[in-house]
């Protein structure tokens, strides 16, 4: 399934529309989207997830918001939740300055033919985010559509939210972040040729540079799985600038167990399972090699003792 621009979407019957930013498509988002799919089926409607192709705050306030899931990954996860269509709005100041009344009447009820709207308890929309769920309920009574509001979901007394998950990832608390997400956090990229330092130490790596708009875990070493083509391998990944050798840009250096071949200009996806240690600047190659041996042994023991699934 591909996401369809709202200007190219022509539903042949009424819709149930899931509303939200859906960054991370975390457990609360999943509940909302599955509720949308269920209500659509019960009421003979098309289930639609409405997205923006970029985070609104980036456009409105030029904020450097690091996303948990790039747009294509977000679409892939939503597709797996059983909806009929994924529709996106191109994010620009014109659409973000539309008043809430017009967003409801022209976009949701008009263009999307919405008969049912599903949103989170803290959903806001329209110019200056002045529209809210109270307004949706008021308009539903006047205009004859239905609204379902999903209450907050908590895990360990914390509200499940994209902001909290970003903080967990930034702090290197990957295992906990994955629990809040309901799937494994990952970073995708194209494998680029590096300096081959790892190969000289006996630990060849593949190297990818994350997209500028995606959040990366705290610098350090992580237990990972790496997907290349249709194959998924156990691996260990360093996130950092490689301070021992004067690096400057954040990159992922991944050592794949039991795979030793050159892979360049190939897409791959690295799934982060757990944190092993923080980034260290070593005095020389020998110190680095000794630590990599320790890290690799620890990672293999972690794989042997636990079941991690992507």
What are 183-201's pLDDT values in tens digits?
Answer: 999 999 999 977 666 566 6
Radius of gyration of the chain (CA): 22
- Name which of 240, 248, 250 is nearest 275 in CA terms: 240
pLDDT digits (tens, 9 = 90+) for 47-85: 999 999 987 777 776 677 899 999 999 999 999 999 999
* pLDDT tens digits, 242-301: 755 555 679 999 999 988 777 889 999 999 999 999 998 887 888 888 999 999 999 999
Tell the CATH topology of 4-158.
Rossmann fold (3.40.50)
CATH 3.40.50.620 region(s) of the chain? 4-158
**What pTM did the predictor assign?**
0.92
Specify whether domain 184-305 bears CATH 2.40.30.30. Answer: yes
Burial class (CB within 10 angstroms; exposed 0-12, middle 13-18, buried 19+) of 240:
buried
- Look at the alpha carbons of 299, 304, 306, 310 in this order and tell me if their dihedral is positive or negative: positive
Domain with CATH 2.40.30.30 in the chain: 184-305
Between 164-168, 204-208, 274-278, the lowest mean confidence (pLDDT) is in 204-208
């Amino acid at each position: 399934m591909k996401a369809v621009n709202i200007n190219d979407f022509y539903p042949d019957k009424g819709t149930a529309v899931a509303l939200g930013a859906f960054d991370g498509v975390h457990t609360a988002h999943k509940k909302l989207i599955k509720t949308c799919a269920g209500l659509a089926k019960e009421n003979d409607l098309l289930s639609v997830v409405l997205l923006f192709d970029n985070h609104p705050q980036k456009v409105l306030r030029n904020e450097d918001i690091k996303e948990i899931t790039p747009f294509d990954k977000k679409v892939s996860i939503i597709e797996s939740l059983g909806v009929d269509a994924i529709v996106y709005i191109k994010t620009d100041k014109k659409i973000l300055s539309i008043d809430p009344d017009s967003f409801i009447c022209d976009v949701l009820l008009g263009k999307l033919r919405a008969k049912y709207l599903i949103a989170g308890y803290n959903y806001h929309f329209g110019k200056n985010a002045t529209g809210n769920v109270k307004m949706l309920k008021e308009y539903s009574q006047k205009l004859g559509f239905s609204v379902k509001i999903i209450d907050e979901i908590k895990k360990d007394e914390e509200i499940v939210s994209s902001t909290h998950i970003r903080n967990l990832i930034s702090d290197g608390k990957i295992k906990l972040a994955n629990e809040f997400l309901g799937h494994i956090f990952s970073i995708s990229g194209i494998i680029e040729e590096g300096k081959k330092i790892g190969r000289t130490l006996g630990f060849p790596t593949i190297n990818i540079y994350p997209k500028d708009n995606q959040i990366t875990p705290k610098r350090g070493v992580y237990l990972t799985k790496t997907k290349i083509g249709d194959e998924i391998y156990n691996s260990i990944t360093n996130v950092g600038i490689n301070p021992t050798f004067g690096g400057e840009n954040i990159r992922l250096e991944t050592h794949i167990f039991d795979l030793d071949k050159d892979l360049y200009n190939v897409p791959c996806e690295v799934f982060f399972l757990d944190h092993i240690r923080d980034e260290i600047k070593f005095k020389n190659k020998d110190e680095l090699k000794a630590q990599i041996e320790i890290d690799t042994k620890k990672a293999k023991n972690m794989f042997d003792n636990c079941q991690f699934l992507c």
